[in-house]
């Protein structure tokens, strides 16, 4: 279906359901005694922690996050155009210092013990709780690409974790000579942020068009269809004669890379580009796989009401590491899962049935700095499975459907994308927007 304003309002109205679910769970046990231990302070882990403290202030909530600095992946593609804005994407975690906040421990975790609901830290500490929640994000499956070693990662930066790697890619883009070939390789599903590579491609094509007009961007995709493909392809046809997309059926599957040869090899072709952005396949982090929480699948299966592991009782897995189809691996999905999980945890601790969640996702993508498109999804549990609800799910209207209003609508969606980012950042991290 096409997403119109009335459909978006239905979805936004449903967002209040997560709060209602949390209140129902809290009402069952006002004291909310117990403890929750969370691995990860990205959109999933942080959203969960703050929801728990909002709905159950006396609950003991501890978050263990990497000591490394953290930048949000949402909006990091825009930093390729304006590298000076990268600092604004960093999450500072200042709100965790306030009275009544969840306890934040910055430490490296070396082991997960599902049977004990415990985390083992690098300094030897062992933390446990009544409920263990794992939201560690993704790991890059470098062994899935022949030749993809540390030298290749340096030569062909993926920048799929925002921050310094984003700056590296921005600098390499500026070093491309006019007429140079830029290649992006896009992995097969699933991976973090399904439309992210295509937004990046749009913005790189926009930059090349203005600064390297004789250069070309070639997309080598490991699949034949992708999220919002009709909208992206229409935008590319209208805006970017310098962009070419090839899918798996075109022979674009990535076979091998070589840093020494500056080589990108597909099923049918070999390229030596001026710049290559190789985005590797992804999987759940080794910590979870070594604990047996992926069941050998690479990603971790969960049940849909509280995202409890299908393989370990009282262990919940959120965000990118979980198998939560049909929800995508996105920041909004992680935020929504965090709130649904909070309601389920409070119900479990109170000995009450879990409330039935309605989960949401919105993904904005920029096809130019001043033009955006969006996809919205809403999800519910039916017959023990997570399913997409037709009401409140859909895409931005096509350019043909918009007629003369096309440019104005796309510009409005770009503005909405900025508003969405500021709102979800504030909700997940309790930090204000990175721009005035």
Give the pLDDT of residue 6. Answer: 40
Residue 81 lies in a domain: no
Of 282, 312, 336, the domain-final residue: 282
Residue 361 lies in a domain: yes
Label the pairing between strands 90-91 and 181-186: unpaired
- Clarify whether residues 325 and 394 are in a common domain: yes
Give the pLDDT of residue 30. Answer: 44
Per-residue CA distances from 129 to 34, 133, 235, 334 (Å): 8, 10, 50, 22
Residue 87 lies in a domain: no
Of 235, 254, 282, the domain-final residue: 282
Q: Which of 22-31, 71-80, 128-137 has the lowest mean pLDDT?
A: 22-31
- Clarify whether residues 16 and 130 are in a common domain: yes
| Percent helix, percent strand, percent coil in the chain, to nearest 5 | 40, 25, 35
DSSP class of residue 234? Answer: H
- Clarify whether residues 134 and 183 are in a common domain: no
- Clarify whether residues 401 and 301 are in a common domain: yes
- Clarify whether residues 251 and 362 are in a common domain: no
Residue 151: CB atoms within 10 Å:
13
Find the angle CA(328)-CA(333)-CA(339) to the nearest 5 degrees: 150
* Sign of the CA dihedral with 73 first, then 79, 83, and 84 last: negative
Give the pLDDT of residue 196. Answer: 98
Residue 122 lies in a domain: yes
pLDDT category at 7 given cuts 50, 70, 90 is very low
Give the pLDDT of residue 17. Answer: 47
Residue 96 lies in a domain: no
Give the pLDDT of residue 45. Answer: 98
- Clarify whether residues 270 and 304 are in a common domain: no
Six token digits for residue 77: 């593609």
Is the confidence at residue 12, as pLDDT, over 50?
no
Total of domains in the chain? 2
Q: Which of 10-19, 138-147, 329-338, 366-375 has the lowest mean pLDDT?
A: 10-19
Is the confidence at residue 243, as pLDDT, over 70?
yes
Residue 386 lies in a domain: yes
- Clarify whether residues 315 and 223 are in a common domain: no
> 164: part of which helix (H) or strand (E)?
helix 164-174
Instruction: Classify 108 in phi/psi space as left (phi over 0), alpha (psi -120 to 50) or beta.
Output: beta
Task: Describe the strand order of the beta sheet including 254-258 as a list of residue ranges.
Answer: 254-258, 263-266, 270-271
- Clarify whether residues 315 and 254 are in a common domain: no
Four-CA torsion 24, 30, 31, 33, nearest 10 degrees? -10
Domain around 340: 5-67+107-138+284-428
| pTM score of the predicted model | 0.93
- Clarify whether residues 33 and 158 are in a common domain: no
Is the confidence at residue 5, as pLDDT, over 70?
no
- Clarify whether residues 311 and 377 are in a common domain: yes
Residue 13 lies in a domain: yes
pLDDT digits (tens, 9 = 90+) for 68-122: 999 999 999 999 999 999 999 999 999 999 999 999 999 999 999 999 999 999 9
User: At 291, which CATH number?
Assistant: 3.50.50.60
Six token digits for residue 286: 């080794």
Label the pairing between strands 181-186 and 216-221: parallel
Q: Which of 103-117, 222-236, 331-345, 398-412 has the lowest mean pLDDT?
A: 398-412
pLDDT category at 2 given cuts 50, 70, 90 is very low
Q: What are phi and psi of 253, to 5 degrees?
A: -60, 130
Residue 307 lies in a domain: yes
* Sign of the CA dihedral with 428 first, then 395, 230, and 409 last: negative
Give the pLDDT of residue 434. Answer: 67
Give the pLDDT of residue 436. Answer: 59
Six token digits for residue 159: 């920048």
Give the pLDDT of residue 14. Answer: 40
Give the pLDDT of residue 23. Answer: 52
DSSP class of residue 312? Answer: S
- Clarify whether residues 289 and 417 are in a common domain: yes
In 178-303, alpha helices (H)? 196-211, 229-239, 286-290
Of 253, 282, 311, the domain-final residue: 282
Instruction: Tell me whether residue 210 is exposed, middle or buried, using C-beta atoms within 10 angstroms of its C-beta: 0 to 12, 13 to 18, 19 or more.
Output: exposed
- Clarify whether residues 187 and 252 are in a common domain: yes
Is the confidence at residue 433, as pLDDT, over 90?
no
Buried-state track 51-81, b at ≥16 Cβ within 10 A, e below 16: bbbebbeebbbbbbbbeeebbbbbbbbbbbb
Six token digits for residue 301: 């299966």
């Amino acid at each position: 279906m096409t997403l119109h304003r009335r459909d978006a309002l239905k979805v936004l109205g449903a967002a209040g359901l997560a709060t209602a679910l949390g209140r129902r769970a809290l009402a069952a046990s006002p004291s909310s005694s117990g403890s929750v231990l969370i691995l990860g302070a990205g959109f999933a882990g942080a959203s969960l922690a703050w929801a728990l403290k909002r709905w159950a202030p006396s609950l003991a909530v501890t978050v263990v996050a990497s000591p490394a600095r953290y930048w949000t992946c949402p909006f990091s593609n825009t930093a390729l155009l304006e590298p000076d804005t990268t600092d604004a994407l960093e999450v500072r975690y200042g709100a965790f210092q306030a009275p009544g906040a969840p306890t934040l421990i910055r430490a490296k975790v070396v082991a997960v013990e599902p049977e004990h609901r415990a985390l083992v830290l690098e300094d030897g500490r062992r933390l446990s709780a009544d409920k263990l929640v794992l939201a560690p994000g993704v790991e890059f499956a470098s062994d899935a690409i022949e030749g993809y070693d540390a030298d290749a990662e340096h030569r062909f930066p993926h920048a799929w974790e925002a921050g310094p790697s984003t700056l590296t890619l921005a600098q390499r883009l500026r070093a491309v000579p006019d007429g140079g070939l830029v290649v992006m390789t896009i992995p097969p599903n699933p991976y973090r942020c399904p439309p992210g590579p295509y937004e990046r491609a749009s913005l790189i094509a926009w930059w090349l068009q203005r600064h390297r007009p004789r250069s070309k961007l070639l997309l080598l995709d490991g699949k034949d269809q992708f999220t919002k493909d009709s909208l992206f392809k229409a935008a590319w046809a209208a805006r970017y004669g310098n962009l070419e997309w090839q899918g798996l059926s075109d022979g674009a599957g990535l076979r091998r890379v070589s840093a020494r040869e500056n080589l990108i090899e597909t099923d049918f072709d070999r390229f030596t580009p001026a710049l290559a952005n190789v985005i590797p396949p992804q999987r759940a982090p080794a910590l979870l796989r070594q604990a047996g929480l992926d069941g050998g699948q690479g990603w971790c299966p969960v049940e849909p009401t509280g995202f409890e592991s299908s393989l370990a009782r009282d262990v919940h897995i959120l965000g990118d590491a979980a198998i939560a189809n049909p929800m995508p691996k996105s920041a909004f999905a992680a935020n929504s899962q965090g709130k649904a999980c909070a309601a389920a945890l409070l119900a479990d601790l109170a000995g009450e049935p879990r409330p039935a969640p309605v989960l949401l996702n919105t993904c904005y993508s920029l096809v130019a700095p001043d033009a955006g498109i969006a996809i919205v999804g809403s999800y519910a549990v039916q017959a023990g499975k997570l399913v997409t609800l037709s009401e409140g799910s859909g895409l931005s209207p096509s350019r043909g459907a918009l007629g003369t209003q096309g440019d104005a609508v796309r510009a409005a969606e770009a503005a909405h994308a900025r508003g969405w980012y500021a709102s979800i950042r504030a909700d997940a991290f309790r930090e204000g927007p990175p721009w005035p």
